[in-house]
Structure 1
Amino acid sequence: MKFFASSQKRLLKPSIFRRILAVNILALLTLVVGLLYVDRYRISLIESEVGNLSAQAENFAAALGEAATNNKLNNENSLNQGRADQIIRRLAKNTKTQLVLISRDRTILSDSRLLLEPGGLVQKDELPPPETFPNIFTKHLLNIFDKFTFLFFSNLKTLNIAGEIITYPTPDLWSQIDKTFEGQKLFHVDISKGSVDKISVAVPVQRYKQVLGTLILTFNPLAINESVFLVRLQILQISMIALIITIFLSIYLAKTIAQPINRLVKTANNVRQGLSREYSI
């Protein structure tokens, strides 16, 4: 009975090894929790951005269906390219979104990035944002961090857009554009190595339930990448602080364990050599 009681007491009492192990995995657990949080945070931002872009596309398509159509005597409507181009440029003037209007025969009627100049059409592209990384070392470290997160911890399988479940990876819009002529809405999210490169939404342009064409909105979500970068930087800072605390606590525990053992060894050595008869341990 005494043997079982002592064994049970030893099992309930945490060993020194378990204490040191718990302290040493503190930084690792902080990093793992951070990886999972970044993935969930990125998905929520993507879902919100796609939802906003979808609502914007539906409003723009409704405006085009009302104001940029030619009414024919046989009740068949068609898009007026001149009026549609004016509306497209006005809608895209105060946004960073690219608007492309396509007819049913896949002809591009208007593109907000194409400007008519005296020398011909000129394509307008957004300049890349300035570097926001504090230094090169932090940049490379966060890139490795994000690639590791995307490969092993990413749960980006489905997107919930206004109650509609979209499976990722999403198909290319141009290969599925015929579905919009049937009244369907299409989504495309382009993600490479954890960075969101492009979000696109394609909606049908209708008048009295007659599909006249397709409107494609494409948005470069720099705000998502910036927000994820700031979160990654904070997680990296917290992990570094946890690592430093872990190192100091490990040193403290090692000294706490080693000091009485060293005193015991020193005292036993003195007793063995017969230097004195009384020692305090």
Structure 2
Amino acid sequence: MPDASGPVATELPPPVPMERRRTSRRVSPLLRRILLVNMLPPFLLVATLLYLDQYQDGLLAAEVQGLRTQARIYANGIAEAGVRIQDDRATLVPEIARPLLRRLTEPSTGTQAKLFDNNGLLVADSRVREGPGGAIVTEPLPPPSQPGPVAGVIGRVYERVLDWFPRPRVRGPAVVVDETPGAPSFDWQPDLGPDRREELRLALEGGVNPYVRRTADGRLLVSVAEPARRANQPVGIVLLTREAREVDQRVMEIRGSVLALFAMALAITVALSLYLARTLASPMLELAGSAAAMRQGKGRGGSVPAPLMARQDEIGLLARALQSGTNALWARVDSNERFAADVAHELRNPLTSVRSAIETLRRVENPEQQRRLLAIIAEDAVRMDRLIGDIADSSRVDAELSRTVSEPVNIAPILATLAELHAATRGENDPSVELDAPVSLVVRGVEGRVVQVLRNLLGNALSFSPPGGKVRVRARATGAVAEIAIEDEGPGIPEAKLEGIFDRFYSERPQGERFGQHSGLGLSISRQIVEALGGRIMAENRRNPDGSVAGARFVVRLPVA
């Protein structure tokens, strides 16, 4: 029987060293990536929300506007009650202005008012009064508000976070902020320099910007200067300074709320990250451990944990694919082991025959017997050569087909060529071939291997057909499959061997054929080729109307291109 060939790559690539897992002592890289990706949005959110300078500027602008209104009221009151007009000239009267300024500022305990004359000299200070015996007493400002421990921590965290970002300030008109600790007070001194004179002129004209500063002890102070006018004549300058405690308190409240929301979002993010790590990273590590166990030869059928294979997601698909690949690999290993054992068994018979013939040849002196023994040795040598060739052919099939890309193959002319070749070489009593196939029937495969399968099956049918019999070859397309059936008129196949005839080294030959003419690998190689091309091959018996066996039928189904 004609046989086929093709390599099988039985050697596996060398194992890749794999680091042993230490899940209890080491955070997986996937978990770190999940945490980083999930925690980045909350951090960006908190950085944006903590960036409260614009909100703080709005509060400061409102504070400045209120303080400026208050300063104008003070300036108008002093211009009306603390000024003497003589010869159409308005003059500030310090003796009247001082008590008046103190009376005006009494309701505002956190406000300090100063009154300067047109030369920039201090006339009155709401925090300075005359005590008993004419002594000058200065009333200190209320102590700065001290944040609680939590607020202090929040403030420090906030400032630390803001240090990471540039801090452009968006301010309303006429607002100047100096947050340098210990910044000097808005004031004029008796020894006026050129800069102070210009500042004095602007103050008398009402053109000095409000001044906001942060002192060394943490106070946020707002200062505004308003001119006091009488009869359109400037008589002095009222300087009001107030601690903007409510601004700090409101900003701190918002910071605390934002940080609380951030802490909650961060906790949820970490919990979700751990959940994702448990459902993604941990299964990946388990699959990696299973792959390592497979490499070490442990766990043939149950290498992958059953819970992972039961999952209905991508992890489950990967686990099932890994287990399927493992099963296929072990099946290939077992098949190679059986193949090696079968090869050893098949080669042992002719080797034993050759050895016996040689030992006998040494003792026999009869020339006729020596010629017979030499003929036996020659036949066994030819048999072993054929057997080794078929074995090599069988071992190459899988590897060759795995490297070869399937292409459209028209099997109709192949069948026609095989039929014509048999018709041209058949003897007088040899079986004939009857072909029933369409003009074109294209399948996906490798042309050389498809020809090998069809030649093997046709040669097998011809060898079992009686003299003068017929071998019928029919081909047709049935949906997405092309079906090729080869029928003979021989004795058929034993019912118990309909599957066994495709095993390696199985041989069921016609009567009268000399032993050792075939290796028993032809049908096995044909099944290898057909299944590697995504098709199926099967054997069955043809029946007469009375139920008797009319011959054998081999059916090959290949996917249509």
Fold-level similarity (TM above 0.5): yes
Distance 1:259 1:148, change over 3 A: closer
Structure 1 unmatched runs, 5+: 1-14
Q: Return the alpha-carbon distance in structure 1 between the equivalents of residues 131 and 58 of structure 2.
A: 41
Q: Return the alpha-carbon distance in structure 2 between the equivalents of residues 80 and 150 of structure 1.
A: 51
RMSD between aligned alpha carbons? 3.0
Q: Which amino acid aligns with 2:171?
A: L
Q: Return the alpha-carbon distance in structure 2 between the equivalents of residues 52 and 141 of structure 1.
A: 29
Q: Return the alpha-carbon distance in structure 2 between the equivalents of residues 150 and 89 of structure 1.
A: 42
Q: Return the alpha-carbon distance in structure 1 between the equivalents of residues 205 and 293 of structure 2.
A: 94
* Partner SS, residue 224 of structure 2: strand
1:86 to 78, 85, 99: 99
What residue is the counterpart of 1:277 in the other structure? Answer: 301
* Partner SS, residue 55 of structure 1: helix
Distance 1:246 1:33, change over 3 A: same
What residue is the counterpart of 2:118 in the other structure? Answer: 104
* Pairs within 5 Å for 1:174-213: 174=188, 175=196, 176-191=199-214, 197-213=220-236
More strand by share: 1
Q: Which amino acid aligns with 1:277?
A: G
Query: C-alpha offsets along residues 14-51 of structure 1, whole Å, 9 cap, x if unaligned?
Result: x9998654312133113212222x22221111111011
* Partner SS, residue 123 of structure 2: strand
2:165 to 152, 162, 165: 152
* Preserved contact between residue 196 and residue 224 of structure 1 (Cα < 8 Å): no
Does residue 42 of the first structure (1) align with residue 48 of the second (2)?
Answer: no
What residue is the counterpart of 1:222 in the other structure? Answer: 245
Structure 2 unmatched runs, 5+: 1-29, 189-195, 310-561
Q: Which amino acid aligns with 1:203?
A: E
What residue is the counterpart of 1:127 in the other structure? Answer: 142
* Aligned pairs, number: 258
Q: Return the alpha-carbon distance in structure 1 between the equivalents of residues 255 and 301 of structure 2.
A: 62
Distance 1:269 1:179, change over 3 A: closer
1:236 to 244, 259, 264: 259
Per-residue deviation, 1:103? 0.8
2:155 to 125, 138, 142: 142
* Partner SS, residue 146 of structure 2: coil
Per-residue deviation, 1:168? 4.3
Distance 1:19 1:264, change over 3 A: closer
Deviation larger for 18-27 or 210-219: 18-27
Distance 1:250 1:86, change over 3 A: same
Per-residue deviation, 1:110? 1.2
* Preserved contact between residue 26 and residue 246 of structure 1 (Cα < 8 Å): no
Does residue 54 of the first structure (1) align with residue 29 of the second (2)?
Answer: no
* Preserved contact between residue 64 and residue 222 of structure 2 (Cα < 8 Å): yes
Q: Return the alpha-carbon distance in structure 2 between the equivalents of residues 33 and 260 of structure 1.
A: 36
**TM-score normalised by the chain length of structure 1:** 0.79
Distance 1:61 1:277, change over 3 A: same
**TM-score normalised by the chain length of structure 2:** 0.42
What residue is the counterpart of 1:8 in the other structure? Answer: none
What residue is the counterpart of 1:10 in the other structure? Answer: none
* Partner SS, residue 249 of structure 1: helix
Per-residue deviation, 1:167? 4.7
* Partner SS, residue 106 of structure 1: coil
Q: Which amino acid aligns with 1:123?
A: T
Query: C-alpha offsets along residues 95-131 of structure 1, whole Å, 9 cap, x if unaligned?
Result: 1211111111222221100021014111111222453
Q: Which amino acid aligns with 1:80?
A: V
Query: C-alpha offsets along residues 193-225 of structure 1, whole Å, 9 cap, x if unaligned?
Result: 9x6621100111101110111010010111111
Query: C-alpha offsets along residues 140-173 of structure 1, whole Å, 9 cap, x if unaligned?
Result: 45224225427834332x532xxx4445449955
* Preserved contact between residue 104 and residue 213 of structure 1 (Cα < 8 Å): yes
Rg (Cα) greater in structure: 2
Per-residue deviation, 1:266? 4.9
